[in-house]
Amino acid sequence: MEAKLSSDGSKSFELGDVECLKEVGYGNYGCSHYRRRCKIRAPCCNEIFDCRHCHNEAKNSMDTDPLDRHDIPRHEVQKVICSLCDTEQDVQQCCINCGVCMGKYFCGKCKFFDDNVSKNQYHCDECGICRTGGEENFFHCNKCGCCYSKLMKDAHHCVQRAMHHNCPVCLEFLFDTMKDVTVLACAHTIHLECLEEMQQHYRYSCPVCSKSIRDMTNVWRMLDREITSNPMPAVYQNKMVWILCNDCGANSHVNFHTIAHKCLNCNSYNTRQTRGGPTASCSSGMAETVL
């Protein structure tokens, strides 16, 4: 298939089978974020970019004047430029000049194109954006304000606008992130890779509410043995302190120990010292080390 130059200098294609237009240039155009056969004109600064992420990275870089930094209003995009024939036109799936399909997946509401349909993209009207993973595999929770896997439908705990905030570790906005997001047992959300990095550094509590992020039974048993084998000096053996459990919220009056303090209600060591003891930070400091 060969491109021909028209009188105005633009490229056009002659095809016997219109369906073949879906494959013209497939996989050869796009950026690191998306494979697609068009670019967008940003309505905010009137510049051309491969996609909204390319725009946001360029306009929020350290080289950009802080007063000029901004994100593209994705739903306000009105013009796209065909990557094959360079024709600028209104947002639509097929080029008005050469007829090529500019994205096998196309959403007119989001002004979004993507040639990689293996992501099983779908548009969620409640979220107002396109998501990946297949519409049949997700449900939208109106209270949380986002889509969750149907595997969680009967078990997830609702948190108002659960993903309409930044990741508590890397501070990237979670609602429209391209990275995998996971939901903790406490219902707070976080990037999966950020969670994995936390655990590599032996941090097992939610950065938002401090509840344990997984079953810590084996760790608590280890601490039981550690405390038993390391009794406090006689001067501290009758010293009592008040603690607050991060997991169940109960207050307990327990023997002071420099390693950790155990909740009398749920047996968790994810606790913080609130009153008493030689220093106010001994127990909470250890809890931070463990969790």
Of 156-170, 236-250, 275-289, where does the model show the most confidence?
236-250
Domain boundary among 119, 138, 168: 119
C-alpha angle with apex 270: 222 to 143, nearest 5 degrees? 130
Q: And the tokens for 71?
A: 């994100």
> Does a structural domain hold residue 152?
yes
C-alpha angle with apex 139: 135 to 143, nearest 5 degrees? 145
Q: Where are the beta strands (DSSP E) in the chain?
A: 3-5, 11-13, 38-41, 48-49, 79-82, 88-90, 105-107, 112-114, 122-124, 129-131, 138-141, 146-149, 181-183, 189-191, 240-245, 251-255, 271-275
Pair 98, 14 in one domain: yes
> Does a structural domain hold residue 211?
no
Q: Does the pLDDT at position 7 exceed 60?
A: no
> Domain range for residue 277?
217-290
> Does a structural domain hold residue 53?
yes
Q: And the tokens for 21?
A: 């237009």
Pair 8, 71 in one domain: yes
Pair 23, 115 in one domain: yes
99-137 confidence digits (pLDDT tens): 999 999 999 999 999 999 999 999 999 999 999 999 999
Write the CATH number for 286.
Answer: 2.20.28.10
Q: Does the pLDDT at position 17 exceed 80?
A: no
In the chain, the number of structural domains is: 3
> Does a structural domain hold residue 212?
no
| Residue 37 vs residues 40, 64, 208, 242: alpha-carbon distances, Å | 10, 28, 41, 64
What confidence category does residue 21 fall into, taking pLDDT thresholds of 50, 70 and 90?
Answer: confident
45-66 confidence digits (pLDDT tens): 999 999 999 999 999 999 999 9
Residues paired with residue 148 on neighbouring β-strands, in sequence order: 139
Pair 137, 149 in one domain: yes
